[in-house]
Chains A and B, each alone.
Chain A
Amino acid sequence: MKCPLDEKLLVDYLEGELTHEEAARLNDHLKSCPVCREEYETLQEAKKALLYCKEQTTVEEPGESFWQESSRIIAEATYRHREEDSPRGIVVLLNRWRPLILAAAAVLLLVLAGTLEWRSRSGTRIQGLQIAARESASNVITPGDSLFLMGEAVFNYSQATNTLEAIGELAADSSADLPPEAMVFPVGRSVYESLVDLEDQQLENVMLALASR
Protein backbone atom coordinates (compact mmCIF):
# COMPACT_ATOMS: atom_id res chain seq x y z
CA MET A 1 0.00 0.00 0.00
CA LYS A 2 1.29 3.46 -0.83
CA CYS A 3 0.64 6.53 1.27
CA PRO A 4 -0.15 9.71 -0.65
CA LEU A 5 2.13 11.74 1.65
CA ASP A 6 4.64 13.84 -0.30
CA GLU A 7 8.03 12.12 0.06
CA LYS A 8 9.74 15.51 0.22
CA LEU A 9 8.01 16.14 3.55
CA LEU A 10 9.88 13.18 5.00
CA VAL A 11 13.13 14.73 3.81
CA ASP A 12 12.20 18.06 5.37
CA TYR A 13 11.32 16.30 8.63
CA LEU A 14 14.56 14.31 8.57
CA GLU A 15 16.58 17.46 7.98
CA GLY A 16 14.71 19.50 10.59
CA GLU A 17 13.35 21.92 8.05
CA LEU A 18 9.70 21.81 9.11
CA THR A 19 8.13 24.32 11.46
CA HIS A 20 7.19 23.13 14.93
CA GLU A 21 3.54 22.73 13.92
CA GLU A 22 4.33 20.92 10.67
CA ALA A 23 6.72 18.59 12.47
CA ALA A 24 4.07 17.79 15.09
CA ARG A 25 1.51 16.99 12.37
CA LEU A 26 3.95 14.74 10.53
CA ASN A 27 4.91 13.03 13.74
CA ASP A 28 1.26 12.21 14.35
CA HIS A 29 1.01 10.86 10.82
CA LEU A 30 4.03 8.63 11.30
CA LYS A 31 2.47 7.14 14.41
CA SER A 32 -0.59 6.08 12.45
CA CYS A 33 0.98 5.20 9.06
CA PRO A 34 3.31 2.16 9.05
CA VAL A 35 4.28 2.75 5.40
CA CYS A 36 5.58 6.25 6.06
CA ARG A 37 7.12 5.19 9.36
CA GLU A 38 9.12 2.47 7.66
CA GLU A 39 10.13 4.86 4.89
CA TYR A 40 11.23 7.45 7.42
CA GLU A 41 13.24 4.90 9.41
CA THR A 42 14.95 3.85 6.19
CA LEU A 43 16.04 7.41 5.49
CA GLN A 44 17.03 7.89 9.10
CA GLU A 45 19.33 4.85 9.03
CA ALA A 46 21.17 6.11 5.96
CA LYS A 47 21.43 9.61 7.38
CA LYS A 48 22.81 8.27 10.65
CA ALA A 49 25.40 6.20 8.79
CA LEU A 50 26.41 9.20 6.68
CA LEU A 51 26.81 11.44 9.73
CA TYR A 52 28.92 8.78 11.38
CA CYS A 53 31.05 8.58 8.27
CA LYS A 54 31.39 12.36 8.26
CA GLU A 55 32.60 12.39 11.86
CA GLN A 56 35.13 9.66 11.17
CA THR A 57 36.38 10.97 7.86
CA THR A 58 38.97 13.61 7.52
CA VAL A 59 40.05 14.27 3.98
CA GLU A 60 43.80 14.30 3.91
CA GLU A 61 44.71 17.87 3.09
CA PRO A 62 48.01 19.12 1.76
CA GLY A 63 50.24 21.08 4.11
CA GLU A 64 50.10 24.83 4.64
CA SER A 65 52.77 25.44 2.05
CA PHE A 66 50.47 23.97 -0.60
CA TRP A 67 47.72 26.47 0.16
CA GLN A 68 50.16 29.35 -0.02
CA GLU A 69 51.53 28.09 -3.31
CA SER A 70 48.02 27.46 -4.58
CA SER A 71 46.98 31.01 -3.70
CA ARG A 72 50.04 32.31 -5.51
CA ILE A 73 49.33 30.26 -8.65
CA ILE A 74 45.72 31.40 -8.73
CA ALA A 75 46.81 35.00 -8.15
CA GLU A 76 49.26 34.87 -11.04
CA ALA A 77 46.68 33.35 -13.33
CA THR A 78 44.08 35.93 -12.42
CA TYR A 79 44.57 39.34 -10.86
CA ARG A 80 48.32 39.61 -10.43
CA HIS A 81 50.60 40.61 -13.25
CA ARG A 82 52.39 37.56 -14.53
CA GLU A 83 55.97 37.10 -13.51
CA GLU A 84 57.85 37.24 -16.79
CA ASP A 85 60.87 35.40 -15.49
CA SER A 86 59.06 32.74 -13.57
CA PRO A 87 58.83 29.31 -15.22
CA ARG A 88 55.53 28.80 -13.38
CA GLY A 89 54.32 32.11 -14.81
CA ILE A 90 54.86 30.76 -18.31
CA VAL A 91 52.84 27.66 -17.51
CA VAL A 92 49.99 29.71 -16.09
CA LEU A 93 50.02 31.94 -19.14
CA LEU A 94 50.08 28.94 -21.46
CA ASN A 95 47.12 27.40 -19.68
CA ARG A 96 45.17 30.61 -19.82
CA TRP A 97 45.67 31.01 -23.57
CA ARG A 98 45.59 27.30 -24.24
CA PRO A 99 42.72 27.33 -26.80
CA LEU A 100 44.36 30.00 -28.94
CA ILE A 101 47.78 28.42 -28.56
CA LEU A 102 46.37 25.08 -29.64
CA ALA A 103 44.70 26.63 -32.64
CA ALA A 104 47.82 28.57 -33.62
CA ALA A 105 49.94 25.48 -33.13
CA ALA A 106 47.60 23.49 -35.35
CA VAL A 107 48.11 26.00 -38.14
CA LEU A 108 51.86 25.91 -37.57
CA LEU A 109 51.88 22.13 -37.65
CA LEU A 110 49.87 22.12 -40.83
CA VAL A 111 52.46 24.31 -42.45
CA LEU A 112 55.29 22.14 -41.10
CA ALA A 113 53.51 19.00 -42.24
CA GLY A 114 53.01 20.65 -45.59
CA THR A 115 56.70 21.45 -45.80
CA LEU A 116 57.62 17.85 -45.09
CA GLU A 117 55.09 16.63 -47.60
CA TRP A 118 56.32 19.11 -50.14
CA ARG A 119 59.89 17.96 -49.65
CA SER A 120 59.02 14.31 -50.00
CA ARG A 121 56.44 14.49 -52.78
CA SER A 122 55.53 16.79 -55.59
CA GLY A 123 55.58 20.55 -55.36
CA THR A 124 51.83 20.87 -55.93
CA ARG A 125 50.86 19.64 -52.53
CA ILE A 126 52.05 22.68 -50.62
CA GLN A 127 49.43 24.81 -52.32
CA GLY A 128 46.62 22.69 -50.85
CA LEU A 129 48.12 22.85 -47.39
CA GLN A 130 48.47 26.59 -47.58
CA ILE A 131 44.80 26.87 -48.50
CA ALA A 132 43.91 24.59 -45.61
CA ALA A 133 46.05 26.63 -43.24
CA ARG A 134 44.34 29.83 -44.35
CA GLU A 135 40.94 28.22 -43.86
CA SER A 136 42.03 27.00 -40.45
CA ALA A 137 43.25 30.43 -39.46
CA SER A 138 39.83 31.89 -40.21
CA ASN A 139 38.38 29.50 -37.65
CA VAL A 140 40.80 30.31 -34.86
CA ILE A 141 38.32 32.16 -32.69
CA THR A 142 35.73 29.38 -32.75
CA PRO A 143 36.41 27.08 -29.80
CA GLY A 144 35.27 23.51 -30.24
CA ASP A 145 35.45 23.62 -34.02
CA SER A 146 37.44 21.16 -36.06
CA LEU A 147 40.56 23.27 -35.90
CA PHE A 148 40.52 23.33 -32.14
CA LEU A 149 39.91 19.61 -31.95
CA MET A 150 42.67 18.99 -34.41
CA GLY A 151 45.04 21.28 -32.57
CA GLU A 152 44.25 19.61 -29.28
CA ALA A 153 44.73 16.19 -30.81
CA VAL A 154 48.06 17.23 -32.20
CA PHE A 155 49.13 18.65 -28.87
CA ASN A 156 48.01 15.65 -26.92
CA TYR A 157 49.60 13.32 -29.34
CA SER A 158 52.77 15.29 -29.63
CA GLN A 159 54.54 14.51 -26.42
CA ALA A 160 57.47 16.76 -25.81
CA THR A 161 59.91 14.03 -26.68
CA ASN A 162 58.39 13.03 -30.02
CA THR A 163 57.07 16.20 -31.54
CA LEU A 164 58.89 15.70 -34.80
CA GLU A 165 57.68 12.11 -35.17
CA ALA A 166 54.12 13.26 -34.67
CA ILE A 167 54.48 15.91 -37.32
CA GLY A 168 55.97 13.36 -39.71
CA GLU A 169 53.14 10.95 -38.99
CA LEU A 170 50.58 13.62 -39.65
CA ALA A 171 52.15 14.28 -42.99
CA ALA A 172 52.29 10.56 -43.78
CA ASP A 173 48.65 10.04 -42.76
CA SER A 174 47.44 12.72 -45.12
CA SER A 175 46.21 11.48 -48.45
CA ALA A 176 47.44 13.35 -51.51
CA ASP A 177 44.07 12.74 -53.14
CA LEU A 178 42.10 14.73 -50.58
CA PRO A 179 40.73 18.12 -51.62
CA PRO A 180 42.24 21.14 -49.81
CA GLU A 181 39.27 21.59 -47.48
CA ALA A 182 39.66 18.04 -46.19
CA MET A 183 43.08 18.97 -44.86
CA VAL A 184 41.34 20.66 -41.97
CA PHE A 185 40.91 17.13 -40.63
CA PRO A 186 44.28 15.55 -41.24
CA VAL A 187 44.43 13.72 -37.92
CA GLY A 188 43.86 10.00 -38.21
CA ARG A 189 41.72 8.01 -35.83
CA SER A 190 44.79 6.43 -34.35
CA VAL A 191 45.91 9.84 -33.22
CA TYR A 192 42.67 10.47 -31.35
CA GLU A 193 42.89 7.05 -29.77
CA SER A 194 46.35 7.91 -28.55
CA LEU A 195 45.22 11.04 -26.74
CA VAL A 196 46.65 11.57 -23.33
CA ASP A 197 46.45 14.64 -21.18
CA LEU A 198 49.50 16.81 -21.43
CA GLU A 199 51.11 17.97 -18.26
CA ASP A 200 51.98 21.66 -17.94
CA GLN A 201 55.64 20.90 -18.36
CA GLN A 202 55.01 18.87 -21.51
CA LEU A 203 52.87 21.62 -22.97
CA GLU A 204 55.62 24.10 -22.26
CA ASN A 205 58.23 21.81 -23.84
CA VAL A 206 56.13 21.30 -26.94
CA MET A 207 55.67 25.03 -27.34
CA LEU A 208 59.38 25.64 -26.90
CA ALA A 209 60.15 22.87 -29.39
CA LEU A 210 57.78 24.34 -31.93
CA ALA A 211 59.03 27.86 -31.36
CA SER A 212 62.62 26.80 -31.89
CA ARG A 213 61.93 25.30 -35.34
Chain B
Amino acid sequence: MAPDEQIIAEILKGEKEKFSILVDRYQRAIFRFLRRMGLEQEAAQDVMQEAFIKAYNKLDSVREGGSFRCWLYAIAANQARNYLRTLSRQAKVNLDEANLYEDRDNPERTTEQGALKIRVERCLARLNDDQRRVVILRTFEDLSFKEIASTCGISLSNAKILYHRALKKMSGWLKIEVSEC
Protein backbone atom coordinates (compact mmCIF):
# COMPACT_ATOMS: atom_id res chain seq x y z
CA MET B 1 0.00 0.00 0.00
CA ALA B 2 1.51 3.27 -1.10
CA PRO B 3 1.95 5.78 1.73
CA ASP B 4 -0.18 8.93 1.74
CA GLU B 5 2.82 11.19 1.08
CA GLN B 6 3.64 9.33 -2.13
CA ILE B 7 0.07 9.47 -3.37
CA ILE B 8 -0.16 13.19 -2.62
CA ALA B 9 3.09 13.83 -4.50
CA GLU B 10 1.72 11.93 -7.51
CA ILE B 11 -1.57 13.86 -7.39
CA LEU B 12 0.29 17.16 -7.29
CA LYS B 13 2.34 16.04 -10.29
CA GLY B 14 -0.83 15.55 -12.29
CA GLU B 15 -2.13 12.06 -11.51
CA LYS B 16 -5.24 13.62 -10.02
CA GLU B 17 -7.40 10.52 -10.15
CA LYS B 18 -5.23 9.00 -7.42
CA PHE B 19 -7.13 11.15 -4.96
CA SER B 20 -9.70 8.36 -5.05
CA ILE B 21 -7.21 6.17 -3.18
CA LEU B 22 -7.18 8.63 -0.30
CA VAL B 23 -10.96 8.92 -0.39
CA ASP B 24 -11.38 5.15 -0.23
CA ARG B 25 -8.77 4.92 2.48
CA TYR B 26 -10.28 7.48 4.85
CA GLN B 27 -13.92 8.19 4.11
CA ARG B 28 -15.27 5.59 6.52
CA ALA B 29 -13.02 6.75 9.37
CA ILE B 30 -13.94 10.40 8.81
CA PHE B 31 -17.61 9.48 8.70
CA ARG B 32 -17.35 7.57 12.01
CA PHE B 33 -15.45 10.46 13.56
CA LEU B 34 -18.12 12.96 12.52
CA ARG B 35 -20.87 10.75 13.88
CA ARG B 36 -19.09 10.50 17.21
CA MET B 37 -18.67 14.27 17.21
CA GLY B 38 -22.44 14.51 17.31
CA LEU B 39 -23.49 14.91 13.68
CA GLU B 40 -26.51 13.02 12.51
CA GLN B 41 -26.00 10.50 9.73
CA GLU B 42 -27.07 12.70 6.84
CA ALA B 43 -25.08 15.67 8.11
CA ALA B 44 -22.03 13.46 8.64
CA GLN B 45 -22.26 12.28 5.04
CA ASP B 46 -22.43 15.83 3.69
CA VAL B 47 -19.71 17.20 5.94
CA MET B 48 -17.44 14.27 5.09
CA GLN B 49 -17.79 14.95 1.37
CA GLU B 50 -17.17 18.66 1.90
CA ALA B 51 -14.08 17.85 3.93
CA PHE B 52 -12.62 15.76 1.11
CA ILE B 53 -13.40 18.41 -1.49
CA LYS B 54 -11.74 21.05 0.68
CA ALA B 55 -8.76 18.77 1.26
CA TYR B 56 -8.33 18.24 -2.48
CA ASN B 57 -8.49 21.94 -3.24
CA LYS B 58 -5.83 22.66 -0.63
CA LEU B 59 -3.75 19.55 -1.11
CA ASP B 60 -0.62 21.52 -1.91
CA SER B 61 -0.75 23.02 1.55
CA VAL B 62 -0.10 19.71 3.31
CA ARG B 63 3.18 20.33 5.03
CA GLU B 64 6.13 18.26 3.89
CA GLY B 65 6.51 15.48 6.41
CA GLY B 66 3.08 16.31 7.84
CA SER B 67 0.42 13.69 8.22
CA PHE B 68 -2.40 13.78 5.66
CA ARG B 69 -4.59 11.80 8.03
CA CYS B 70 -4.23 14.38 10.84
CA TRP B 71 -4.74 17.20 8.38
CA LEU B 72 -7.90 15.56 7.08
CA TYR B 73 -9.24 15.04 10.60
CA ALA B 74 -8.52 18.71 11.30
CA ILE B 75 -10.48 19.80 8.23
CA ALA B 76 -13.35 17.49 9.12
CA ALA B 77 -13.36 18.76 12.71
CA ASN B 78 -13.52 22.37 11.52
CA GLN B 79 -16.26 21.59 9.04
CA ALA B 80 -18.19 19.82 11.79
CA ARG B 81 -17.77 22.77 14.12
CA ASN B 82 -18.97 25.17 11.45
CA TYR B 83 -21.92 22.94 10.74
CA LEU B 84 -22.89 22.69 14.39
CA ARG B 85 -22.62 26.46 14.77
CA THR B 86 -25.19 26.95 12.07
CA LEU B 87 -27.72 24.87 13.90
CA SER B 88 -30.07 26.49 16.27
CA ARG B 89 -29.47 26.01 19.97
CA GLN B 90 -32.31 23.58 20.21
CA ALA B 91 -31.09 21.60 17.24
CA LYS B 92 -27.65 21.32 18.82
CA VAL B 93 -29.12 20.10 22.06
CA ASN B 94 -30.93 17.48 20.04
CA LEU B 95 -27.70 16.41 18.41
CA ASP B 96 -25.84 16.22 21.68
CA GLU B 97 -28.40 14.75 23.91
CA ALA B 98 -31.57 13.55 22.26
CA ASN B 99 -30.46 10.02 21.62
CA LEU B 100 -28.69 9.87 24.93
CA TYR B 101 -31.35 11.18 27.28
CA GLU B 102 -34.56 10.24 25.52
CA ASP B 103 -33.78 6.59 25.45
CA ARG B 104 -36.05 5.16 28.05
CA ASP B 105 -37.44 2.71 25.54
CA ASN B 106 -34.02 1.72 24.35
CA PRO B 107 -33.62 -2.03 24.92
CA GLU B 108 -29.98 -1.42 25.82
CA ARG B 109 -31.14 0.14 29.07
CA THR B 110 -32.44 -3.19 30.19
CA THR B 111 -28.95 -4.59 30.57
CA GLU B 112 -26.26 -3.32 32.88
CA GLN B 113 -23.74 -3.24 30.03
CA GLY B 114 -26.11 -1.27 27.87
CA ALA B 115 -26.72 1.18 30.68
CA LEU B 116 -22.96 1.71 31.14
CA LYS B 117 -22.50 2.41 27.45
CA ILE B 118 -25.29 4.97 27.53
CA ARG B 119 -23.81 6.60 30.63
CA VAL B 120 -20.42 6.90 28.95
CA GLU B 121 -21.97 8.42 25.84
CA ARG B 122 -23.87 10.88 28.00
CA CYS B 123 -20.66 11.88 29.77
CA LEU B 124 -18.91 12.32 26.41
CA ALA B 125 -21.68 14.66 25.30
CA ARG B 126 -21.21 16.76 28.45
CA LEU B 127 -17.52 17.43 27.73
CA ASN B 128 -16.64 20.67 26.03
CA ASP B 129 -15.82 20.51 22.32
CA ASP B 130 -12.03 20.50 22.74
CA GLN B 131 -12.05 17.80 25.39
CA ARG B 132 -14.52 15.64 23.50
CA ARG B 133 -12.49 15.89 20.30
CA VAL B 134 -9.29 14.82 22.06
CA VAL B 135 -10.98 11.90 23.82
CA ILE B 136 -12.65 10.69 20.63
CA LEU B 137 -9.49 10.96 18.56
CA ARG B 138 -7.49 9.11 21.19
CA THR B 139 -9.93 6.44 22.29
CA PHE B 140 -12.03 5.77 19.23
CA GLU B 141 -9.72 6.78 16.39
CA ASP B 142 -6.48 5.54 18.01
CA LEU B 143 -4.48 8.66 17.15
CA SER B 144 -1.29 9.28 19.13
CA PHE B 145 -1.09 12.42 21.23
CA LYS B 146 1.36 13.82 18.72
CA GLU B 147 -1.19 13.27 15.95
CA ILE B 148 -3.96 14.73 18.09
CA ALA B 149 -1.85 17.82 18.78
CA SER B 150 -1.27 18.22 15.05
CA THR B 151 -4.93 17.63 14.22
CA CYS B 152 -6.26 20.08 16.79
CA GLY B 153 -3.53 22.66 16.29
CA ILE B 154 -2.47 22.51 19.93
CA SER B 155 0.72 21.56 21.75
CA LEU B 156 1.50 17.99 22.74
CA SER B 157 1.38 19.08 26.35
CA ASN B 158 -2.02 20.70 25.91
CA ALA B 159 -3.42 17.57 24.23
CA LYS B 160 -2.45 15.49 27.26
CA ILE B 161 -3.83 18.04 29.70
CA LEU B 162 -7.16 18.17 27.85
CA TYR B 163 -7.30 14.37 27.87
CA HIS B 164 -6.43 14.21 31.58
CA ARG B 165 -9.11 16.73 32.53
CA ALA B 166 -11.70 15.08 30.33
CA LEU B 167 -11.10 11.68 31.88
CA LYS B 168 -11.20 13.12 35.36
CA LYS B 169 -14.51 14.85 34.67
CA MET B 170 -15.99 11.72 33.11
CA SER B 171 -14.92 9.56 36.02
CA GLY B 172 -16.62 11.95 38.44
CA TRP B 173 -19.82 12.04 36.40
CA LEU B 174 -19.88 8.26 36.06
CA LYS B 175 -19.58 7.85 39.85
CA ILE B 176 -22.45 10.27 40.44
CA GLU B 177 -24.63 8.47 37.90
CA VAL B 178 -23.92 5.07 39.44
CA SER B 179 -24.73 6.40 42.91
CA GLU B 180 -28.04 7.77 41.61
CA CYS B 181 -29.08 4.46 40.09
A binds B: yes
Chain A at the B interface: SS class = helix
Distance A59 CA – B119 CA, assembled complex (angstroms): 17
B171 touches A43 (CB 8 A): yes
Distance A47 CA – B113 CA, assembled complex (angstroms): 16
Distance A53 CA – B32 CA, assembled complex (angstroms): 14
The answer to whether A70 and B48 touch (CB under 8 A), given A11-B164, A51-B139, is yes
B121 touches A59 (CB 8 A): no
Distance A61 CA – B48 CA, assembled complex (angstroms): 13
Report A55-98 residues with CB < 8 Å from chain B CB.
56-57, 59-62, 66-67, 70-71, 73-75, 77-80, 95-96
A61 touches B56 (CB 8 A): no
A59 touches B36 (CB 8 A): yes
CB of B49 within 8 Å of the partner chain: yes
In the complex, how many angstroms separate the beta carbon of A89 from the nearest chain B beta carbon? 14
With an 8 Å Cβ cutoff, the count of chain B residues facing the other chain is: 49
Distance A55 CA – B32 CA, assembled complex (angstroms): 14
Contacts of A54 in B (CB 8 A): 139-140
List the B residue with the shortest CB-CB distance to A78: B56
Distance A39 CA – B17 CA, assembled complex (angstroms): 51
A50 touches B135 (CB 8 A): yes
The answer to whether A74 and B17 touch (CB under 8 A), given A49-B116, A53-B117, A56-B117, is no
Distance A70 CA – B171 CA, assembled complex (angstroms): 39
CB of B110 within 8 Å of the partner chain: no
Residues of A participating in the B interface, judged by any CB pair closer than 8 Å: 7-8, 10-12, 14-15, 17, 39, 42-43, 45-47, 49-54, 56-57, 59-62, 66-67, 70-71, 73-75, 77-80, 95-96, 197
